[in-house]
Structure 1
């Protein structure tokens, strides 16, 4: 089997979708060595495209109120449009000459190639909650989602919650949609004591802290954490400060203002985008991972934190609750008093979440990329009408 696997999301600093695509591709290559899974665009095109598509990992505070001139905006938009058109043309040419059996698009909108298509859709937030996204993205997605789904022979989603949404809102029949829980990489595991010391020194962190990981955007509900933390007495804020690890995203003016005007002065630390290699120690050093999202398609940080031996406190969003089960403390996303109480109890009692801390690693160990590769490979064969091969046994996660 020859599969064309689009790796365009890997050209930018990796967030959730890019991590999932990279890990799934690696598991497919490792698990099915007699097949070909060609990761487009290849090494040299990746370097060239990376220069075009590169975006800053964080937005400097000083630049928040500066806007480029109209001509500069138009020029940047034109260059981007030309680059994307060139990328699409090159991708389609590669699909024609590569003798591929199937094309997998891990970022929901496939190119037109004439090949059988498998599409991954992680969430429907742009369709269901357009108010959380930039207007130009909403406009582009209004047609892109429908067009992408129409081209797909099969759709893979991250959770049963999204599988139900795809059937309900996009009209897909159940046999065209498969739910596949994402995996957790072996690097996410309890860390040696020295790793915590090193990560705190690198990022200027205190001995104790609670942690949020992810891009700051409206659906992540970070404003709730900021308000809850700011409401705490000074002694509790000082005992266990809140750390935000992630760049500023779109439509976050209210969160930026709250951070600058109050939260920063009350002890909230914003360390911006964190390199992949720092995440395991950052998770492991936290008293708790806080994840108050209004909506998710999966929600990777809570499971990664659990794998590192850290307790997770999450919202009750459908997909998040599906993923964490009973292995995390869950609170309604709109419950300010509930989030404030948890922050207070964590600050006062380091053992408050110890039961969740003990249960987390075993639960996280059930999320493997080998399992994801088996599900995905089964979808490929179903789309191509091929008989299923014997299952490849799952490899155990690395021991702590």
Structure 2
């Protein structure tokens, strides 16, 4: 089978969907009957790009301000997609919201329906484009892959589609996410004045649905000595309309017990995750929650909300809190500091839970979906 995979998102710094494309493509390479052709927006290749396009982070915000920018880029991408395409392609896989036009079987991955629940997380022009194209893209797809049963059920109800149009392919974690000894972590943590297991960590784009304000306020309730010994680190890109919670963030930063790290290289994130006392992930909505899985695979306990798809990932290994329950999150963080036996139980439960997920398994399900779509 010759599969066309749209890898244009890898031009940007890799967040959730970018990691999905990179890891899935690498795992699909082990499927012997598959041959991948990767579309990069500007042309076709057999190889994944090693890094994002230089200057993308500075260029993208300016492009969004140009009227009609999404439509113009879409038109150019379609022309390049058609021009360089292998005529023997059997199926086209679009791993994001809406597919390009393709005269053959199409599979799409629908990671979530964030634009419905939290439209404020999208620039207005992009939101209009999603609303205009997503329905047609769903109709074009013979099969729709989702990361979780939650999203499959949600999308089935919203689009009014039969259950057999959906295939759930849970995500995996990269090899860099694994338990690490304190001596291994010390060289990267010491320059920042950090000790292994001596800080809490939040990972994710700074946007309101991530509910970081709850993490910030709960951390602020810890006694001053504990806040100093266990600072809260936030690693992630600036999101759309992040100013909605900037007052809380600025107050926390001014205290000196919260550090905003910005976007970091993959290996640095993996080391931070492996060295944290716990990952604090109070998100209100996730189609999967990849940082939760990555933390568990690293032997780091996770604190999260029992919302959307996240219980499918963490199972009984999660420390669950309710959105808005500052006392509950404060008490959970305090227990993970003071109760070492509980911390060890959470660590072991997370490692066992993470063992149920892999990119290899995701790729096998995806390859079966390809065969089903071509045959159907």
Do Structure 1 and Structure 2 share a fold, with TM-score over 0.5?
yes
Of 132, 136, 140 in structure 2, the residue corresponding to residue 143 of structure 1 is 132
CA distance in 2, matches of 1:28, 1:375: 10
Aligned: 1:175 with 2:177: no
Q: Give 1:26's aligned residue.
A: 26
Indicate the SS of the match to 1:325: helix
Corresponding residue for residue 95 of structure 2: 106
CA spacing shift, 1:56–1:233, aligned 2, 3 Å:
farther
Name stretches of at least 5 consecutive residues in structure 2 with no aligned partner.
none
Q: Is the 8 A contact 1:287 1:350 kept in 2?
A: no
Shift of 1:56: 4.7
Q: Look up the match of 1:339.
A: 329
Per the alignment, residue 351 of structure 2 pairs with 361
Deviations 1:27-74 (A, max 9, x none): 1112x2343111113459998x965881159x9xxxxxxxx9xxx779
How far 1:123 sits from its partner (Å)? 0.3
Distance 2:220 2:170 in 1: 35
Residue 374 (str. 1) matches residue 364 (str. 2): yes
The structure 2 residue matched to 1:301, chosen from 274, 283, 291, is 291
User: Residue 313 of structure 2: SS of its match in structure 1?
Assistant: helix
Give a deviation string over 1:241-278, Cα, whole Å, max 9, x none. 11101122111113322222344324101111121112
Looking at structure 2, the residues matched to 75 and 304 of structure 1 have their Cα atoms a distance apart, in angstroms, of 35
Whether 1:205 aligns to 2:184 is no
Aligned residues, how many?
371
Alpha-carbon contact 1:226-1:263 (below 8 Å) kept: no
Deviation at 1:204, TM superposition (A): 4.7
The structure-2 alpha-carbon separation of the partners of 1:73 and 1:318, relative to structure 1 and needing over 3 Å to count, comes to closer
- 1:290 partner SS: strand
| Conservation of the 8 A alpha-carbon contact between 1:184 and 1:365 | no
Q: Which residue of 2 aligns with 1:54?
A: 56
* C-alpha separation in 2, matches of 1:311 and 1:343: 10
| Correspondence for 1:319 | 309
Q: Distance in 2 between the 1:56 and 1:190 partners?
A: 35
User: Aligned partners of 1:276, 1:27: CA distance in 2, in Å?
Assistant: 18
Matched-pair contact (CA < 8 Å) for 1:11–1:46: no
Structure 2 counterpart SS, 1:310: coil
Task: Indicate the residue corresponding to 1:275 in structure 2.
Answer: 265
What is the TM-score when the length of structure 1 is the normalising length? Answer: 0.85
Secondary structure at the residue paired with 2:284?
coil
CA contact (8 A) 1:184 1:368 kept: yes
Q: In the alignment, what sits opposite 1:238?
A: 228
Flag structure 1 segments of 5+ consecutive residues without an equivalent. 60-67, 387-400
Q: After TM superposition, give the deviation of residue 89 of structure 1 in Å.
A: 1.2
Q: TM-score, normalised by structure 2?
A: 0.91
* Residue of structure 2 equivalent to 1:154: 143
Q: How far apart are residue 223 of structure 1 and its match?
A: 0.9
How many Å apart are 1:318 and its aligned residue? 2.7
Aligned to 2:108, the other structure's residue is in SS state strand
- What residue number does 1:392 align with? none
